[in-house]
């Protein structure tokens, strides 16, 4: 088994703060390497990470957290999740969800999302006035995606403050250095979220509306198949957890990248047509999700090694997105980067089903920051969250002026 020249410690504060130099050192050793501490293979290059995501011999094989009695609700929302399934079950579930999404939900929400982003930025500008630091995360990045998912699902206004704490607690389970307290918090949040969504689904069966929950309750495919209640509940939770975390982290990481590269921020201000390519570049430059695991269902040759049946291999998305074999000068932020095959949304059958909605949210957020400010600067040193897998900031103090 190949081991890195410099062992990659995913809990090292220096690696959490900036993993990309460690990735570059590892890529120079071998494209795929064994990590003894994690007990899995890591794919460092774009080619191998892309292959990990696409190879049908590598699957998402969910195993319940044990003891099962302790993680009953957490296991339920993963056992029935499209993210944890392979064909043919994945194909069936994705078809049903896509049918519900196809009813125009994303485009229906676009004007509403843009209006909300504008209001949130206006409030930040009013509080900052160019002299008082305000936190971009709590003031905008955290609020917008939760509000959008709540609007998409048709969650009543009074209940919306419940969603973000549930999501934040559940996703802490995806880290490798979690404590027992975090596990208990995740299970409690999952249990409360499941109970809430069962009630919401029952209400929409009785009183359907023009929201996604109503459509998920009633959607059927050509054969008359429909979602089970557990699948419906799990789909709603996945949309919030994945959508919220990704959008918040791209907004925070991306804004920080622009502030530390003022020439690119200025370039974007001067040419607003660059916004769509800028969003893709910000996702590539500092990926919101750094690691995605799969399990070999048979022996698989990859990157000069054999992933044996039953072994896990993880695509390191941030490392792949900085591979100089694919991206010219990958450590340089380029908001006009035209050739940008980043894999931040995944690839293959598990390509993010919420990608169109995430792009709408991100274009609205960054568009509002550009349209409603004349100056945007760092208002202090940001704090990075101590987790590796979901890469984001704890706060981002900024100074904004109209």
Q: How far is 232 from 80, CA to CA, in rounded Å?
A: 9
**Rounded mean pLDDT, 22-51:** 94
Mean pLDDT in residue range 23-40: 92
Question: Which run of H or of E encompasses 222?
Answer: none
Q: Mention every residue, 6+ apart, whose C-beta is less than 8 A from residue 206.
A: none
Report in angstroms the alpha-carbon separations of 362 from 123, 140, 203, 268, 279.
Answer: 18, 11, 31, 14, 7
Phi, psi of 210 (to 5 degrees): -100, 40
Which of 210, 181, 356 minimizes the C-alpha distance to 276? 356
How far CA 13 is from CA of 236, 388, 394, in Å, comes to: 33, 9, 14
Tens digit of each residue's pLDDT (9 = 90 or more) over 158-207: 999 999 899 889 988 888 778 999 999 999 999 999 999 999 999 999 99
Quick check: 265 and 259 in contact, CB under 8 A? Answer: yes
List pLDDT tens digits, range 84-138.
888 888 888 888 888 877 777 788 889 999 999 999 999 999 999 999 999 999 9
Write the class of the CATH domain 64-285+348-401. mainly alpha
Other Cβ atoms less than 10 A from the Cβ of 86: the count is: 18
DSSP single-letter state for residue 139: I
Return the higher-pLDDT residue of 85 and 317.
Answer: 317
């Amino acid at each position: 088994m190949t081991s890195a020249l410099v062992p990659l410690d995913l809990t090292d504060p220096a690696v959490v703060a900036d993993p990309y130099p460690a990735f570059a050192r590892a890529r120079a050793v071998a494209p795929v390497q064994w990590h003894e501490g994690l007990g899995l293979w890591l794919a460092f290059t774009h080619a191998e990470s892309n292959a990990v995501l696409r190879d049908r011999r590598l699957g998402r094989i969910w195993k319940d957290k044990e003891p099962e009695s302790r993680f009953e609700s957490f296991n339920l929302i993963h056992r029935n999740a499209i993210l944890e399934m392979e064909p043919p079950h994945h194909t069936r579930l994705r078809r049903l969800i896509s049918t519900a999404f196809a009813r125009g939900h994303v485009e229906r929400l676009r004007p509403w999302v843009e209006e909300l982003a504008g209001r949130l930025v206006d409030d930040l500008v009013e509080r900052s006035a160019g002299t008082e630091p305000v936190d971009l995360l709590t003031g905008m990045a955290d609020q917008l995606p939760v509000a959008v998912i709540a609007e998409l699902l048709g969650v009543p206004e009074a209940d919306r403050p419940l969603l973000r704490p549930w999501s934040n607690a559940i996703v802490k389970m995806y880290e490798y250095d979690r404590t027992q307290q975090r596990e208990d918090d995740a299970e409690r949040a999952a249990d409360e979220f499941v109970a809430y969504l069962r009630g919401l689904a029952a209400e929409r069966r009785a009183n359907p509306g023009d929201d996604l929950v109503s459509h998920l309750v009633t959607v059927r495919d050509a054969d008359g198949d429909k979602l089970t209640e557990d699948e419906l509940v799990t789909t709603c939770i996945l949309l919030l957890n994945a959508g919220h975390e990704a959008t918040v982290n791209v907004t925070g990481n991306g804004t920080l990248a622009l502030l530390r590269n003022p020439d690119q921020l200025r370039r974007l201000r001067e040419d607003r047509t660059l916004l769509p390519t800028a969003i893709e570049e910000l996702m590539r430059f500092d990926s919101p999700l750094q690691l995605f695991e799969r399990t070999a269902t048979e022996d698989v040759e990859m990157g000069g090694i054999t992933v044996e049946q039953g072994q896990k291999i993880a695509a390191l998305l941030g490392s792949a997105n900085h591979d100089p074999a694919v991206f010219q000068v990958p450590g340089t932020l380029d908001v006009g980067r035209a050739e940008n095959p980043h894999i931040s949304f995944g690839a293959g059958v598990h390509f993010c089903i919420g990608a169109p909605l995430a792009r709408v949210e991100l274009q609205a957020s960054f568009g509002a920051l550009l349209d409603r400010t004349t100056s945007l600067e760092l208002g202090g040193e940001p704090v990075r969250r101590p987790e590796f897998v979901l890469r984001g900031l704890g706060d981002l103090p900024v100074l904004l002026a109209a």
